């Protein structure tokens, strides 16, 4: 273990001691994200295995966001961090089979608002950058859905994570980026019915487009 620490310290020392041009940039960026998760369906049965509810995940809509970002370059290495606010609307349809009066699908939307902190590191070549890194997400507000369902509850987490891989280009004061984002949490994995976890566990996948201005 001590030997590994020595090697890591040596690498850090060499990196910091390189006589190279170092640059730090600040900027604001507009982001647009597209979700391409497939629709899915879950059936909730009572203790006698009679069907109570049928819920279908339809899609996700991510609102455009404005983020502040900073990146540091030294030689061919860069490190970038962002701070932004994201609103995600997840759409569902459901049928309540307990009442025979209306078996037409009804609709409900779950809206989640989060503070996003993406961090990316990688290689910088001329005006282009290629990198990857974690995406930290802290939920600050969300609504509860399916409140008419008996024996149903949500056990949401305030922190979610993911990772992002992407590329960017700097053109004078303009900054363009494109990335793929994989969320570690499911699109709606916090659903519980009769005490059992019965949510949508498919992980969210996003394509992000960004246009920024460097100060």
Task: Tell me what pLDDT residue 14 has.
Answer: 47
Instruction: Tell me how far CA of residue 184 lies from CA of 59, 164, 187, 215, in angstroms.
Output: 17, 11, 9, 33
Residue pair 37/187 in contact by the 8 Å Cβ criterion = yes
Average pLDDT over residues 26-47: 94
pLDDT tens profile 87-134 = 999 999 999 998 777 788 999 999 999 999 999 999 999 899 999 999
Domain boundaries, the chain: 20-39+61-89+111-188+199-214
> Is the predicted pLDDT of residue 12 greater than 70, yes or no?
no
CATH second-level architecture of 20-39+61-89+111-188+199-214?
Beta Barrel (2.40)
Burial of 166 (0-12, 13-18, 19+ CB in 10 A): buried
What pTM was estimated for this model as a whole? 0.83
């Amino acid at each position: 273990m001590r030997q590994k620490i020595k090697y890591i310290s040596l690498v850090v020392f060499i990196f910091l001691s390189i006589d190279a041009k170092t640059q730090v940039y600040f900027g604001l960026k507009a982001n647009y994200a597209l979700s391409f998760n497939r629709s899915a369906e879950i059936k909730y049965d009572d203790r006698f295995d009679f069907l109570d509810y049928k819920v279908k995940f339809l899609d996700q809509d991510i609102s455009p966001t404005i983020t502040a970002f900073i990146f540091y370059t030294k030689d061919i290495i860069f490190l970038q961090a962002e701070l932004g606010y994201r609103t995600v609307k997840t759409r569902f349809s459901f049928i309540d089979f307990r009442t025979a009066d209306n078996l037409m699908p009804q609709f409900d939307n779950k809206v989640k608002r989060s503070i996003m902190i993406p961090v990316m590191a990688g290689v910088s070549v001329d005006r282009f950058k290629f990198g990857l890194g974690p995406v930290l997400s802290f939920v600050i507000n969300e609504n509860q859905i399916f409140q008419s369902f008996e024996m149903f509850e949500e056990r949401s987490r305030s922190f979610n994570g993911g990772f992002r891989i992407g590329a960017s280009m700097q053109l004078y004061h303009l900054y363009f980026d494109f990335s793929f984002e994989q969320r570690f949490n499911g699109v709606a994995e916090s659903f519980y019915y009769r005490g059992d976890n019965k949510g949508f566990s498919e992980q969210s996948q996003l394509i992000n487009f960004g246009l920024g201005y460097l100060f």
